[in-house]
């Protein structure tokens, strides 16, 4: 019997789309020329990179192709943008970001703090929404950069980028704005001109391109120094021979993602909502870690009180179901998710928090199967818990609320 695989961890990585894979293949063994070479044979590779650049420009609605830099991943996009812009504005020493950014960005800011930068980390409320007043108040003459993610990887909460952009421009026109849009790409439309951002990073493997390729948008008014210095590739902003097949894959995946946005916001959302509603209805010790409507359509983050997340994941994994957890145990670090802690998710629930993230490949049958097996798993694990009295009280409370 073939082992079942139900992949609900698409915020971690996604399956490469068949069309993307097929588009990449010729550039490994047939059209393997270096785009910088001048002979006829390399032209196809050169054109392919150009075409992909155009596709990413369209995907983000950038003004022109020159604003797109291909990178190796989301972390490289973020590092290029942040370090690049600070290097150009060396006299400014203040940065604003949020408490819930992805670790690739947060760890970079921790490093910059040690180098003498002042970094303000903006709070979120219990629903994961940013404190915009705090952000506005923090901007001053010395602020080189504001950096906010478009959507949170753990909760899916979407941040009001356009509004933040307006706030920044009204307080300090010289302050640059970087947006980590890794979790937004392919899930919601991205329009860098309407958003008014200066820089925005994406990563291919989150929207059905392969791992190892990403892109950074830098608008024509923003100067950055390169992170990787060497050849003249990417207009001197990122040295290194272009990763042609992967860049082709990224371009193709962007096209597919653009076409798929409507499906994402209707069908994927419907399945996500079904999963959430079912779990909350049938499992008394479950709680939605954020319920805001302004979330990417594929993400659900649910806490199971008084039981531990890794144990849930291991039991799901035994049934072929893949998800992830904000618990300390799964991360290898000893502390639970910094995002859920910033939201003040109670400790009864934070260690038992599970993130389900769907994709266009998720089927109704798969969601039904998870809804069918999950209550049994949670029931088994509840019985292991030393917090039986607390669970009993919670059960009674929920029964009262429901009646």
Chain residues binding other proteins by CB under 8 A are: 113-114, 116, 306-311, 314-315, 317-318, 327-330, 332-336, 347-348, 351, 383-388
Nearer to other proteins, 76 or 154 (CB): 154
Strands 321-322 and 6-7, sheet pairing: parallel
CA atoms within 13 Å, Cβ hemisphere of 224? 34
Nearer to other proteins, 113 or 166 (CB): 113
Task: Work out how close the CB of 306 gets to other proteins at its nearest, in angstroms, rounded to a whole number.
Answer: 6
Nearer to other proteins, 237 or 351 (CB): 351
Out of 104, 322, 329, 371, which one is annotated catalytic?
329
CB atoms near residue 72 (< 10 Å): 18
Nearer to other proteins, 166 or 318 (CB): 318
Task: Work out how close the CB of 187 gets to other proteins at its nearest, in angstroms, rounded to a whole number.
Answer: 26
Task: Work out how close the CB of 48 gets to other proteins at its nearest, in angstroms, rounded to a whole number.
Answer: 36
Give me the count of residues in the chain. Answer: 403
Nearer to other proteins, 129 or 308 (CB): 308
Task: Work out how close the CB of 310 gets to other proteins at its nearest, in angstroms, rounded to a whole number.
Answer: 4
Would residue 329 show up in a list of annotated catalytic residues for this protein? yes
Task: Work out how close the CB of 350 gets to other proteins at its nearest, in angstroms, rounded to a whole number.
Answer: 9
Task: Work out how close the CB of 351 gets to other proteins at its nearest, in angstroms, rounded to a whole number.
Answer: 5
Nearer to other proteins, 8 or 20 (CB): 8
Per-residue three-class SS string for the chain: CCCCCEECECCCCCCCCHHHHHHHCHHHHCCCCCCCCCCHHHHHHHHHHHHHHHHHHHHHCCCCHHHEEEECCHHHHHHHHHHHHHHHCCCCCEEEEECCCCHHHHHHHHHHHHCCCEEEEECECCCCCECHHHHHHHCCCCEEEEEEECECCCCCEECCHHHHHHHHHHHCCCCEEEEECCCCCCCCCCCHHHHCCCEEEEEHHHCCCCCCCEEEEECCCCCCCCCCCCCCCHHHCCCCCCCHHHHHHHHHHHHHHHHHHHHHHHHHHHHHHHHHHHHHHHCCCEEECCCCCCECCCEEEEEECCCCHHHHHHHHHHCCEECEECCHHHHCCCCCCHHHHHCCCCHHHHCCEEEEECCCCCCHHHHHHHHHHHHHHHHHHHHHCCCHHHHHHHHHHHHHHHC
CB 154 within 8 A of CB 103: no
Task: Work out how close the CB of 397 gets to other proteins at its nearest, in angstroms, rounded to a whole number.
Answer: 18
- DSSP-assigned beta bridge partners for residue 324: 355
CA-CA distance, 107 to 144, in Å (whole number)?
18
Nearer to other proteins, 251 or 336 (CB): 336
Catalytic center residues = 329
């Amino acid at each position: 019997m073939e082992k079942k695989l139900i992949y609900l961890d698409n915020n971690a990585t996604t399956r490469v789309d068949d069309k993307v894979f097929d588009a990449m293949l010729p550039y490994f063994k047939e059209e393997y020329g270096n785009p910088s070479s001048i002979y006829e044979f390399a032209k196809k590779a050169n054109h392919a990179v150009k075409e992909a650049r155009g596709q990413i420009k369209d995907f983000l609605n950038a003004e022109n192709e020159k604003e797109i830099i291909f990178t190796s991943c989301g972390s490289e996009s973020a590092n290029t943008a942040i370090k690049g812009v600070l290097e150009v504005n060396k006299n400014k020493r203040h940065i604003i970001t949020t408490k819930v950014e992805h670790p690739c960005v947060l760890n970079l800011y921790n490093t910059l703090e040690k180098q003498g930068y002042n970094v303000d980390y903006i709070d979120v409320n219990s629903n994961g929404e940013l404190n915009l007043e705090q952000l506005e108040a923090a901007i001053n003459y010395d602020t080189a950069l504001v950096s906010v993610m478009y959507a949170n990887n753990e909760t899916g909460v979407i941040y009001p980028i356009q509004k933040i952009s307006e706030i920044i421009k009204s307080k300090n026109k010289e302050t640059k704005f970087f947006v980590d849009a890794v979790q937004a790409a392919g899930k919601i439309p991205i329009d860098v001109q309407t958003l008014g951002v200066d820089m925005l990073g994406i990563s291919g493997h989150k929207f059905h391109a392969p791992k190892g390729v990403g892109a950074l948008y830098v608008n024509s008014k923003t100067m950055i120094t390169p992170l990787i210095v060497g050849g003249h590739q990417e207009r001197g902003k990122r040295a290194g021979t272009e990763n042609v097949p992967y860049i082709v894959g990224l371009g193709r995946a962007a096209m597919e993602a653009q076409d798929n946005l409507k499906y994402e916001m209707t069908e994927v959302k419907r399945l996500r909502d079904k999963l959430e509603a079912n779990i909350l209805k049938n499992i008394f010790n479950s709680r939605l870690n954020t319920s805001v409507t302004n979330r990417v359509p594929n993400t659900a983050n649910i806490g199971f009180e008084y039981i531990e997340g890794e144990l849930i994941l291991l039991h799901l994994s035994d049934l072929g179901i893949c998800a992830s957890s904000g618990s300390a145990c799964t991360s290898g670090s000893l502390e639970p998710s910094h995002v859920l802690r910033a939201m003040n998710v109670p400790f009864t629930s934070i260690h038992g928090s599970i993130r389900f993230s769907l994709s266009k490949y998720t089927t109704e049958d798969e969601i039904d199967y998870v809804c069918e097996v999950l209550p049994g798993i949670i029931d088994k694990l509840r019985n292991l818990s030393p917090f039986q009295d607390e669970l009993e009280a919670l059960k009674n409370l929920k029964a009262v609320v429901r009646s």
